[in-house]
Structure 1
């Protein structure tokens, strides 16, 4: 087994709850002092001027109460199960790597398309990767969309991804970072291939046992 695929010693520390806590704390700080958003949200011009930490911090900043509420609910419901399966160290690495890489790719796209004034924030890129991991680990799990519509986890994840792809093509200026969501999904997929030597497609398309 090579170094890239060497597993961490398993331990479960409820890291997901710490991530939720950090997001909530930062959102409160944003409400108290809105200028904090200027330093944390990803902005192409600021990054070119040395604000490189924004590749990480954009994941912990949010633009509204509904924004953080839905993201943290998704992280709570899907992240807890993924962390328990992966272990806390692996989960934290997965979350941060996919989120940062989604931010890097978004920066490149924004810069080369001239979208210099965008402020990218939110955990959605990493959350798409977490949802992919959940559907890969628990392909027979049923998720109740809006608390009503029952869907198998792979159907939900692939459906959301298809919707994001459609939106990125036809609604690029909508203000929603569809490309960041897709990037999180793509880097999550790549993480499984490289780190676990596992193709998520095999699990997402398997039939119920």
Structure 2
């Protein structure tokens, strides 16, 4: 069956699988974290490199992460590549992936701007206990439990040192890379729903049929809800939404320019 896959999907799956095995090899044989090197870091991070805008979508956090993304690419992408052709499908996938991380970066910028604005207000009536409360709220993945190194550091931070501490925490948070093809795959899901809206799909849980258009709407609403309700999550929900948004824009542009093309 793999031999009969259209060329772009076949090569994307091969590349993603190879990069996962390469990440394992480099980590255990050479002590090099390819996810850290090739995953996306926020623009202000010391570890950001422009090529990460593309390379992040070919890296994954593990076999399960890879499997679900490649399975979705296979399920929803084959009909699209056959319909659009390989060149257009390749362009769409890559642009959705880049756009997805761009949207996530914009959300990160807004979140960091809010943190800095809140911190500026904190400085006007600074105390270590208020700084601790601020840190616990805005950096949920840090350990600030009593007696922890972070707790001790914050409680011994004077007002003049607080901006430096904030920058250190932001850099540590930015050092966590974003990896995965999910943003591009959500763009593929959106395109499938627009191209084949009445195709019946079978959900796994619960095992009920659903039209593609409703599946797209449900997934979009889920990601929007999770993105708003879990701003500190380690899942890039707004990247998923970003892939769908960019995909929608691309399809509308192509429909306008080529009204008789099968979009």
TM-score above 0.5: yes
CA distance in 2, matches of 1:171, 1:68: 23
> 5 Å matches for 1:115-126?
116-126=174-184
1:21 aligned partner? 14
1:44 aligned partner? 42
Instruction: Report the Cα offset of residue 38 of structure 1.
Output: 1.3
| Residues 122, 31 of structure 1: alpha-carbon distance in 2 compared, 3 angstrom cutoff | same
> 5 Å matches for 1:128-143?
128-143=186-201
1:163 aligned partner? 222
CA distance in 2, matches of 1:188, 1:48: 30
Q: Name structure 1 gaps, 5 residues minimum.
A: 1-11, 199-209
1:96 aligned partner? 94
Instruction: Report the Cα offset of residue 192 of structure 1.
Output: 1.0
CA distance in 1, matches of 2:203, 2:63: 20
Q: Name structure 2 gaps, 5 residues minimum.
A: 28-32, 113-172, 258-263
| Residues 78, 93 of structure 1: alpha-carbon distance in 2 compared, 3 angstrom cutoff | same
CA distance in 1, matches of 2:194, 2:239: 20
1:83 aligned partner? 81
Give the aligned length.
187
More helix, by proportion: 2
Contact 1:45 / 1:117 at 8 angstroms: preserved in 2?
Answer: no
Please give the secondary structure, in 2, of the residue aligned with 1:130. Answer: helix
Please give the secondary structure, in 1, of the residue aligned with 2:202. Answer: strand
CA distance in 2, matches of 1:120, 1:49: 12
Aligned residues: CA RMSD? 2.0
Please give the secondary structure, in 1, of the residue aligned with 2:209. Answer: strand
Pair member with larger Rg: 2
CA distance in 2, matches of 1:61, 1:47: 19
Instruction: Report the Cα offset of residue 112 of structure 1.
Output: 4.1
CA distance in 1, matches of 2:44, 2:9: 29
Alignment partner of 1:172 out of 219, 228, 231 = 231
Please give the secondary structure, in 1, of the residue aligned with 2:201. Answer: strand
> 5 Å matches for 1:58-73?
58-73=56-71
What TM-score does the superposition give when structure 1 sets the normalisation length?
0.83
CA distance in 1, matches of 2:247, 2:38: 23
Please give the secondary structure, in 1, of the residue aligned with 2:222. Answer: helix
CA distance in 2, matches of 1:93, 1:48: 30
2:24 aligned partner? 31
